[in-house]
Amino acid sequence: MDKQGVPHYDPGVQPPPPGFAPPPPYSSGPQPPPQAPGVIFIQQTTFGPDTMRLSCPHCQHDISTRVETEPSTKTHLFALLLCLLGCWCCAPCPYCMDSCLVKKHYCPSCKQYLGSYEN
């Protein structure tokens, strides 16, 4: 700035375009990723075939998960394969075998889906 308070520009340097904002100062530590509103980041949890105790990431209650068993794509493919091989009377068997079903974990308080276990 000169003596009258007017900024002094070097004639060889162009002023920044309107709306230009300088980059933030450099920081040495890693910055956490920005979070979108309403998005919940869930800790990596490995779910098993049985109910498990944890803190629900949606309602923050200390819970024991509710497990529901459902057929998966693998279940349907095994049943189809049995039908194609002529063993149509054995086609319902994959729907009764734990190894062909997926176990889905839900919060009993807020009913939110938490994760699944597939054998």
Residue 41 near residue 35 (C-beta atoms within 8 A): yes
Higher pLDDT, 7 or 75: 75
CB atoms within 10 A of CB 116: 15
pLDDT cut 90: percent of the chain above it = 53
Residue 103 identity: K
Residue 22 CA to residue 20 CA, distance in Å, equals 7
Kindly indicate the confidence band of residue 45, based on its pLDDT and cuts at 50, 70 and 90: confident
Residue 76 CA to residue 15 CA, distance in Å, equals 66
Residue 61 CA to residue 86 CA, distance in Å, equals 50
Which pTM value belongs to this model?
0.59
